[in-house]
Structure 1
Amino acid sequence: MPAFLLYLLQLLLLLLALQCSDELNLCNAATLVPIAKHPANCIESERIALLDFKKNITDPNNCLSSWVGQDCCSWEGVYCDNLTGNIVGLELNGPDPMFSSDKYYLQMRGEISPSLLQLQHLNYLDLSWNDFSGTNFPSFISQLKELKYLNLSGVGFQGSIPAGFGNLSSLQTLDLSYNNLLIYEEHADHEWLSHLTSLQHLDLTQNNIGNSSIGLFLALNKLPSISELHLSSCNLEKLPLSFPHLNFSSLSILDLSNNNINFSGISWVFNIKSLQYLDLYSLAPLPTIFPSSRAYIGKIQPSEISIPESIGSLCSLQTLDLCWLNISKTLVELGGVFSDCLKHSLTHLYLRGTFLKGDILDWIGDIKNLKVLDLSQNSLSGSVPPSLSRLTFLEELQLCYNQLTGTLPEEIGNLAQLEYMNLAQNQLSGVISEAHFTQLEKLETLDFSQNSLIFNVSSNWVPPFLLKELSISSCSVGPEFPAWLQTQHNLSTLNMSSSGINDTVPEWVWNLTSHNLAILDLSNNHIKGMIPKILTFTQIEKLDLSSNLFSGPLPDLHMHSPMVNYIDLSYNSFSGPIPRIMLNDTFSSNLHISISMNKLNGSVPDWLCQMMEEIEGIDISKNHLSGELPHCWLESSIVSYINLAYNNISGAIPNSIGHLRYLNSLLLNHNKLSGELPNSLKNCSQLLALDLSYNNFTGSIPTWIGERLPLLTVLILKQNAFVNNIPQEISQLEYLQVLDLSSNDLSGPIPKSLSNLTSMQMLPKTTQEFSNFLQHNEIMFLSLSGREDEYGEYRIGYVKYIDLSNNELSGCIPEELASLDGLQSLNLSGNTLQCEIPDKLGRMKQLKSLDLSRNKLSGSIPSTLANLTFLGLFNVSHNNLSGRIPLGNQFNTFTDPTIYTGNHLCGFPLSDNCTKDGGTSKEGPKYDEPQINEDDDDILWLYIGSLSGFAVGSSVVWIVLALKKKWRHAYFRSADNTYDKIYVFVVVRFRRMKKKFMPNN
């Protein structure tokens, strides 16, 4: 055979081998990917099995509508083998809610039928993100022995994984994440897991493994092929400290985030040389009251951990996530960890919220392959170093929420691969020029907000980038609108709040709202002019034009965007009536609208209460609205807060408002409303805040407030005409923090049962924060210290006070109120209270304000009140008090004498310094009456004590006096003086008592 032909034959054989190899690879791949549909009809028994499965499923989206006819291989989500016609794949998953924006999708519900056992050739089954909640784990699945891929993520199963799962020896991928599986037994048997010898990918995220985690890891260590392990949020606590033989030689992805693992107990993790992805995010997780926010990380500090330098030897590691661990080191101290081969492999480094401090050092620039660097939410200081420009592959830079200062180096503009840059919430200053963006052609997100940077670019500058998100609030970009923004037609977020703009809005800005723009925030500027008569939103989610100088009528808002949820036009000068808001038929969001602090007039439109199926909150406070409230509130309403305060609305509260069963906050204060409170209001059982102050309501305070509104936290009924007693039932409100019934016509005693108000017994640090209904910048006005102040979502949770002033309350001040340890202000002024001030009030250590003025209180000011070290406002004027004003602590700072006027008091700061008994007489002392100084009582007790000691130790004293002549003489001189002083004291006291009880003599 000629050499040429031989060569050609070898080449053909090689090509044939390669083709066969490719075909084999495709066949192997097909075991985890659904096989293409076969044009022939499927096997009849398997078709019937699918129809039986369909019978048990509720399908609101008609996903199974194609399941008709004989050819089940053509049905949606069904995949058959090309050769045999057997069903080998079922893909009936819903969209993952964490990655999908499809809010219209309704999950399939029901029960997984055992009829699927007829599909004995099934190797791919995906039913994820449907709703099978309340059902136990379907144990029959363990009989589908051909399964290689099983995804039951987010279906809501409960119970435990059946031991028979060990029969699935071909299983390569098992995803049971986001269920309610309880795997917490102390000695749980995970032997079934060790039988899954083909398993490569295991995801148990957000299940409860708990105390059985040691057994779980011992079983996992027996799996030779395991390469991907996701155990985030599994309540893991105890992991093996070591293994007889560490067998995770194939493990490349390990996620242990959001567990309670002791960091020092997982040293073996850092010996897994095959690791490429290691996520230890928040191994000491924050409490569940912050399920999605880390804004309070500074208040909840986990235990400090020490990062082993052995991490540096993980030469395959590309992603390292240590966010929210307490590293508490400077970057100088961390340099050793990243000095080994790790600095050559690492591409993603997440150190957010790890309590780092000090400067950003140049060694960061040596991690040459970094694509993501997240050092946000730490205490880093100093300037942004130019050495970061050496990170030529960097795509994401997060340095926000630190204490960085100085200017931004122009070298940052050399990061040609940068797509995301966030330097928000620092103290950066200086000029931002075109040079900072020279090569940033790929930049899509730029956040410089809450700094003091000054943008200084030419008016005809054309940026090299095309941004999707721009946030530069508190930076100086004005006084005119930046012309270069016209080129950014892909913007979805534009935040230029507090940017020094003093201009009218160019037409091209409004055009952005009808394209891709989802967030537009131009608040807190000096923007003037009128808004176009009609504003059309196609993608908008948030529109904030508050605190500007806009005028003219409000625009007609046409909401073609199904996602809009926040519109704030407050604090402007809009006038005229409230226009109707037009919503698209596909609108599915919960809309929050604020148009407060304008000059709007007319009445509250009827259409508003008819739209409460879409509107979750409305704030029209501080306008000029008049007329009555509409009577058309619907039972289907989802509204959670209504604020119509500071208007001129009159009439009664309509009964239909009781239909608002989800109402959290109802603020109708400062209006002209009248009548009694409607009984239907008791149906609003979710109410947290009720403010009806400064109106003309009459009648008694209803008992159902305490009986039917169990979540009430703020109750303000001041400045009305309520009569009769304070109902005892108010004491049942265990969450009540603010009780203001002042300036009414209430009578009778103060209920002793108010001491049962649970929340007021708790110190502010132990009280759950009161921000659950103030989630959209609502403001309340509270009179904590005698004047009305604004309280927003972050302040109101720590306010606790009772104001019962300016009524006709009588009787004594209940000493039981002293059990309200968390109370900060108590105002009982302007009543007819009698008796003495209870000594026990001195136990209320959190009191900042105590006003008991204008009553009929008698006796003295208890000296125990000097223990109130936070007391800043105190007033007992115009009572019948007498005696000495206490000294010490805060009482030494009360220099205003008017807080004591109208009594019979003496001492600082009054002019009468108690030279007379009780300080009631203004005459000078009689010539024949010895003057007793203000320490007479103390001296008397001192002398009594001295005499007692003398009696006890007399035997010793007499012996000493007999031996020492000088001591003897000194002693008797001292005894004579003591006798004289006691004699004078007794005579003076006797004469005063005689004068007091027999004045005519």
Structure 2
Amino acid sequence: MSSIEDLDLSFTNLNGANDWLEVVSSLPNLKTLDMSACNLSLMSLSSFSQFSHSKSFTPLESLQLRNNEINDIPKFFGDICTLRELDLSGNNLNGQLIEHINDLFGCAKDSLEVFVLASNQLWGSLPDFALFPSLKEIYLLSNKLNGTMPKTIGNLHNLEHLNVSLNYLQDVISEAHFSNLSKLLSLDLSGNSLTLEFDFNWVPPFQLEELRLRSCKLGPRFPNWIRTQWNVTTLDISNAEISDTVPAECYLRFMDLGNNRFSEKIPPWIAEDLPQLIVLILRSNKFSGSIPWETCKLKYLRILDLSLNDFSGIIPQCLNNLTAMAYKAYSSTNLFEGGCMGSHGLNYMYIGDYVDSAMVALKGREYKFGKNLGLLKIINLSSNKLTGKLPTEITSLLELVVLNVSKNNLIGKIPQTIGQLKQLESFDMSRNRFLGEIPSSMSELQFLSRLDLSFNNLSGKIPSGTQLQGFDATCFTGNRALYGPPLTQKCPGEETPNQSLSTDNGSTEDDEDNRDEFKKWFYVGAGIGFAVGFWGICSSLILKRSWRHAYFLLLDNMKDWLYVAMAVNKEVAEIATEGDTFNLDAAHVYMSVRTRL
């Protein structure tokens, strides 16, 4: 064991172990020690210091302590004079970054080449890394750094990879920050509030292979200095406030120009000058015109996102030439094969970042795929003005995982061969003018977990006995002639007995409803008529005196007439009924009295 140079103890729980230090210290030739995800804390490392000056650690060059529970950098790390690589990413480091850097001010600062503190809770400004003259790679992404970026970082002559993305840095970046970085290969400043202000004719001293400036302010003109980077294979300048034309870059494999203000048409040279392109993201711009057929030449393309633009015309039928979406890729396949990734290859996370943001556009919510992110095959043409049919040829892209053509003006039927897309997990063709029946082959899409066919002109019965019944009814709404579960509208001839009885008695129920309705409105009308008549008469009597006097005089006369008539009737009745026979004279008297009255 004394000859061991590389020791990997990662994913071994060493929190309760007592003899691991003795084992490690007994390896005099140890150069690389990996104790990542070993449940280590600062206390468990405290006894490590007694061995740091021993011969055992004289040749130690690489110390990897990723994903533990360390909340501070042990000061004895700075005394390991041969240390070239230190990785403390994914721990519990917090506080100001400069305070932790001070713990390394020993002989290690002269030998350290790779410094990784990603995914911690560090804040403050970037320190003066010029005190570490041998640094080649700096990874400080995913922290809470909220200060500025010192110009002295431009004095790191050996720096090759710089990643400070996903922080809260606020600064204006100029040529001075990169004045002597002639060996720089990758630069990632994404996700900060940085403004890049360079002289228009400035030519950098480096040739980058990866450049990521997402959410940095670069516009409105396309930065001329980027045109000088002939070796760039990965370019992400999305959400950078650029409203210029798209430049030609020969060796790009990852191009994200999303969330800018690029206009006019997609230049046809993209396919001719970028034959190795794997990811093309032009979403949320102002591109117009038709989708150039030259796009079909990008046979390595795996992610195509043209959503949220003003594209018109038909979808090219030649999309079946995107052969990378037709054949299975393996997990070992490198999306950026040939590009420089640095010793920590952190590109993987950017595919993940893209997919998350793309899923918001696709679904309106976050969505996780069950596959390796590097294996995703996506076509997103949503929110444009595309017309014509969905090409049948697109169903030959057998490894397609996401297909979104929603919010266009597409017509025709869903291709009957849609069932060939066995790997499809998300299919959105909502808000178009598709017609006809849903193909029964769609039941063969076993991985389908997100479907939206709403607001089209689809008709017929939804294929039953499939996973389509497991989707919410809102996935099918807006198709008037579509019926069957999960929609509540039943198929013709499938009414239940109760529903049939209800149909037979429908006329009777309608008559009863009509009568009830008539009664209701009769009483309402009578009440309104009484109120109008009553108050009409009363208001006339109140407002007009002559009518009021005549009215009351009429009432007095009627009262007198009734009184006299009743008295006379009584007397006549008594006279006429005297004796056993009717008195004719009394009858005449009665009639004469009535006449006078």
TM-score (norm 1): 0.44
Distance 2:493 2:173 in 1: 65
Query: 1:917: how far off?
Result: 8.8
Asked if the contact 2:75–2:103 (Cα under 8 Å) also holds between the matched residues in 1, the reply is no
Partner of 1:571: 142
Query: 1:928: how far off?
Result: 11
Q: For the structure 1 residues 744 and 630, does the alpha-carbon distance in structure 2 shift closer, same or farther, using more than 3 Å as the test?
A: farther
2:458 aligned with 1:886, yes or no?
Answer: no
Residue 16 of structure 2: SS of its match in structure 1? Answer: strand
Q: For the structure 1 residues 799 and 719, does the alpha-carbon distance in structure 2 shift closer, same or farther, using more than 3 Å as the test?
A: same
Query: 1:826: how far off?
Result: 0.7
Partner of 1:462: 50
Partner of 1:730: 295
Residue 185 of structure 2: SS of its match in structure 1? Answer: strand
Residue 124 of structure 2: SS of its match in structure 1? Answer: strand
Q: For the structure 1 residues 506 and 825, does the alpha-carbon distance in structure 2 shift closer, same or farther, using more than 3 Å as the test?
A: closer
Percent identity, aligned pairs only, is: 29
Residue 13 of structure 2: SS of its match in structure 1? Answer: strand
Partner of 2:230: 661
- The 5-angstrom pairing of residues 412-561 of structure 1 reads 420=5, 422-433=7-18, 436-437=21-22, 440=25, 443=28, 444-445=30-31, 446-453=33-40, 456=44, 462-463=50-51, 465-466=54-55, 467=57, 468-469=60-61, 471=63, 473=65, 478-482=70-74, 485=77, 488=80, 491-501=83-93, 510=102, 512=104, 515=107, 517=108, 538-558=110-130, 561=133
2:486 aligned with 1:909, yes or no?
Answer: yes
Query: 1:907: how far off?
Result: 1.3
1:670 corresponds, among 239, 243, 259, to 239
2:457 aligned with 1:861, yes or no?
Answer: no
Q: For the structure 1 residues 605 and 503, does the alpha-carbon distance in structure 2 shift closer, same or farther, using more than 3 Å as the test?
A: closer
Match of 1:737, as an amino acid? R
1:873 corresponds, among 425, 428, 450, to 450
Distance 1:925 1:838 in 2: 40
Match of 1:661, as an amino acid? W
Partner of 2:208: 639
Q: For the structure 1 residues 450 and 461, does the alpha-carbon distance in structure 2 shift closer, same or farther, using more than 3 Å as the test?
A: closer
Distance 2:101 2:197 in 1: 38
Query: 1:722: how far off?
Result: 0.8
1:757 corresponds, among 298, 303, 322, to 322
Asked if the contact 2:98–2:126 (Cα under 8 Å) also holds between the matched residues in 1, the reply is no
Computing the radius of gyration over CA atoms, which structure comes out larger, 1 or 2?
A: 2
Distance 1:629 1:789 in 2: 37
Distance 2:245 2:154 in 1: 36
- The 5-angstrom pairing of residues 301-316 of structure 1 reads none
Match of 2:151, as an amino acid? R
- The 5-angstrom pairing of residues 5-24 of structure 1 reads none
- The 5-angstrom pairing of residues 257-336 of structure 1 reads none
Query: 1:817: how far off?
Result: 0.8
Distance 2:100 2:388 in 1: 69
Q: For the structure 1 residues 475 and 844, does the alpha-carbon distance in structure 2 shift closer, same or farther, using more than 3 Å as the test?
A: closer
Partner of 1:833: 410
Q: For the structure 1 residues 611 and 806, does the alpha-carbon distance in structure 2 shift closer, same or farther, using more than 3 Å as the test?
A: farther
Q: For the structure 1 residues 478 and 702, does the alpha-carbon distance in structure 2 shift closer, same or farther, using more than 3 Å as the test?
A: closer
Any stretches of 5+ residues in structure 2 without a counterpart?
A: 507-597
Partner of 2:473: 897
Any stretches of 5+ residues in structure 1 without a counterpart?
A: 1-393, 398-419, 518-536, 930-1001
Query: 1:578: how far off?
Result: 3.0
Asked if the contact 2:281–2:305 (Cα under 8 Å) also holds between the matched residues in 1, the reply is yes
Larger relative contact order (Cα-Cα within 8 Å, sequence gap ≥ 6) = 2
Match of 1:425, as an amino acid? S
Asked if the contact 1:746–1:809 (Cα under 8 Å) also holds between the matched residues in 2, the reply is yes
Deviations 1:114-165 (A, max 9, x none): xxxxxxxxxxxxxxxxxxxxxxxxxxxxxxxxxxxxxxxxxxxxxxxxxxxx
Distance 2:382 2:24 in 1: 67
TM-score (norm 2): 0.71
Query: 1:473: how far off?
Result: 1.9
Asked if the contact 1:610–1:633 (Cα under 8 Å) also holds between the matched residues in 2, the reply is no
2:296 aligned with 1:711, yes or no?
Answer: no
Match of 1:871, as an amino acid? L
2:333 aligned with 1:745, yes or no?
Answer: no
Asked if the contact 1:544–1:567 (Cα under 8 Å) also holds between the matched residues in 2, the reply is yes
Distance 1:596 1:889 in 2: 45
Distance 1:881 1:768 in 2: 40
- The 5-angstrom pairing of residues 331-480 of structure 1 reads 394-396=1-3, 420=5, 422-433=7-18, 436-437=21-22, 440=25, 443=28, 444-445=30-31, 446-453=33-40, 456=44, 462-463=50-51, 465-466=54-55, 467=57, 468-469=60-61, 471=63, 473=65, 478-480=70-72
Residue 669 of structure 1: SS of its match in structure 2? Answer: coil
Query: 1:890: how far off?
Result: 3.0
Query: 1:572: how far off?
Result: 2.8
Q: For the structure 1 residues 477 and 883, does the alpha-carbon distance in structure 2 shift closer, same or farther, using more than 3 Å as the test?
A: closer
Deviations 1:728-772 (A, max 9, x none): 111111111111000001111111111211211212339943142
Asked if the contact 1:718–1:741 (Cα under 8 Å) also holds between the matched residues in 2, the reply is yes
Q: For the structure 1 residues 481 and 653, does the alpha-carbon distance in structure 2 shift closer, same or farther, using more than 3 Å as the test?
A: closer
Distance 1:824 1:474 in 2: 33
Match of 1:625, as an amino acid? L
Distance 1:547 1:639 in 2: 25
Partner of 1:688: 253
Query: 1:795: how far off?
Result: 4.3
Residue 194 of structure 2: SS of its match in structure 1? Answer: coil
Deviations 1:242-280 (A, max 9, x none): xxxxxxxxxxxxxxxxxxxxxxxxxxxxxxxxxxxxxxx
Q: For the structure 1 residues 787 and 658, does the alpha-carbon distance in structure 2 shift closer, same or farther, using more than 3 Å as the test?
A: farther
Partner of 2:189: 620
Distance 2:106 2:223 in 1: 39
Q: For the structure 1 residues 838 and 487, does the alpha-carbon distance in structure 2 shift closer, same or farther, using more than 3 Å as the test?
A: closer
Partner of 1:811: 388
Residue 330 of structure 2: SS of its match in structure 1? Answer: helix
Q: For the structure 1 residues 488 and 538, does the alpha-carbon distance in structure 2 shift closer, same or farther, using more than 3 Å as the test?
A: closer
Q: For the structure 1 residues 840 and 774, does the alpha-carbon distance in structure 2 shift closer, same or farther, using more than 3 Å as the test?
A: farther
Q: For the structure 1 residues 542 and 911, does the alpha-carbon distance in structure 2 shift closer, same or farther, using more than 3 Å as the test?
A: same
Query: 1:863: how far off?
Result: 0.9
2:427 aligned with 1:850, yes or no?
Answer: yes
Match of 1:884, as an amino acid? K
Asked if the contact 1:652–1:674 (Cα under 8 Å) also holds between the matched residues in 2, the reply is yes
Query: 1:424: how far off?
Result: 2.0
Please give the root-mean-square deviation of Cα atoms over the aligned residues, in Å.
3.7
Distance 1:477 1:559 in 2: 28
Distance 1:817 1:842 in 2: 12
Query: 1:485: how far off?
Result: 4.8
Match of 2:316, as an amino acid? P
Distance 1:433 1:502 in 2: 27
Q: For the structure 1 residues 676 and 623, does the alpha-carbon distance in structure 2 shift closer, same or farther, using more than 3 Å as the test?
A: same
1:597 corresponds, among 161, 166, 176, to 166
Distance 1:849 1:435 in 2: 49
Query: 1:653: how far off?
Result: 0.8
Distance 1:725 1:654 in 2: 27
Match of 2:398, as an amino acid? D
Partner of 1:799: 376
Asked if the contact 1:594–1:619 (Cα under 8 Å) also holds between the matched residues in 2, the reply is yes
Q: For the structure 1 residues 633 and 898, does the alpha-carbon distance in structure 2 shift closer, same or farther, using more than 3 Å as the test?
A: farther
Distance 1:719 1:634 in 2: 30
Size of the aligned set, in residue pairs, is: 482
